[in-house]
């Protein structure tokens, strides 16, 4: 089974890129973030036309939005309202193969890494804390967590650890919070299980860079985590860097996990 996660930065604007990706990379389940559309305008038919008939969406006008699109049926669909704000940042399904899949879009946090003066940053830290509390109260088996977590937790998840220590997405309070959540709930960070911490690894490159590839000032903001019992079943983890060169690209690229559930 191939599961992908992608912050698409408007599914309606980039629907042809998503369809191309699903077909060319043989994806079974794709989780999207920042779909930026109300549910009634989500391009459901485009997915159904390529056999992705099982679709769970949770969107709002112009902002946020998450979706899970699959060729594997769902047993159950649900979501949580983290921080009580009613924004569309989480969706979850139980697949027919009894895998529980959570798709998250964690708040970006604004520009100032100060909880007292920046409500957006405070929201982000509270969101991570509530995620940890949510999973601590659950028996975490046969579970996959994916999404744009908007934090690059390790030194080589950013182009310059020293220069980004005070930049939102890599500040100590964020990285400490995310790593604590990962460890306390026994998650396995798939990309860092496959690719050593010593290697640079990114999934996002700013639109501000005229030549993103030449400057290569990236950050690993997108993640796939699995419960410990699934870790040994994962055969591949791929960051599709080449897709950043497609026409009208998102600033994020997809991540693929291949898992053998036989």
Contacts of 86 (CB under 8 A, 6+ apart): none
- Give phi and psi for 88, each to the nearest 5: -95, 85
What token pair was written down for 228?
A: 């410990």
Region 37-57 average pLDDT: 98
For 226, the 3-state DSSP assignment is strand
User: What tokens appear for 148 in the block?
Assistant: 């744009």
Domain span holding position 57? 2-259
The predicted structure's pLDDT at residue 54: 98
For the domain that residue 170 is a member of, what is the CATH number? Answer: 3.60.10.10
The strand pairing partners of 5, in sequence order, are 31, 255
Element (H, E) at 53: none
Count of domains observed in the chain: 1
What pLDDT band is residue 194 in, cutting at 50, 70 and 90? Answer: very high
Predicted confidence (pLDDT) per residue in 75-115, tens digit? 999 999 999 999 999 999 999 999 999 999 999 999 999 99
- Structure confidence at residue 140 (pLDDT): 86
pLDDT interval class at 247 (50, 70, 90): very high
Q: Is the pTM of this model over 0.95?
A: yes
């Amino acid at each position: 089974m191939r599961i992908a996660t992608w912050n698409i930065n408007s599914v309606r604007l980039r629907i042809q890129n998503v369809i191309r990706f699903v077909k060319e990379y043989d994806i079974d389940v794709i989780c999207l973030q920042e779909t930026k559309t109300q549910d009634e305008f989500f391009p459901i038919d485009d997915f159904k036309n390529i056999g992705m008939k099982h679709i769970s969406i949770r969107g709002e006008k112009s902002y946020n939005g998450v979706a899970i699109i699959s060729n594997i049926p769902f047993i159950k669909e649900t979501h949580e309202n983290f921080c009580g704000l009613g924004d569309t940042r989480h969706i979850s399904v139980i697949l027919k193969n009894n895998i529980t899949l959570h798709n998250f879009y964690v708040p970006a946090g604004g520009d100032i890494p100060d909880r007292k003066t920046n409500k957006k940053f405070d929201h982000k830290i509270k969101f991570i804390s509530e995620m940890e509390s949510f999973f601590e109260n659950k028996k975490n088996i046969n579970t996959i967590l994916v999404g744009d977590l908007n934090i690059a937790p390790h030194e080589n998840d950013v182009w310059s650890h020293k220069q980004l220590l005070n930049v939102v997405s890599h500040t100590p309070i964020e990285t400490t919070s995310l790593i604590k959540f990962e460890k306390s709930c026994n998650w396995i960070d798939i990309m860092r299980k496959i690719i050593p911490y010593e290697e640079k690894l990114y999934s996002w490159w700013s639109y501000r860079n005229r030549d993103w590839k030449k400057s290569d000032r990236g950050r690993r903001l997108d993640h796939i985590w699995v419960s410990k019992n699934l870790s040994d079943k994962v055969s591949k983890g791929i960051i599709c860097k080449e897709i950043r060169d497609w026409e009208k690209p998102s600033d994020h690229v997809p991540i693929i996990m291949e898992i053998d559930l036989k």
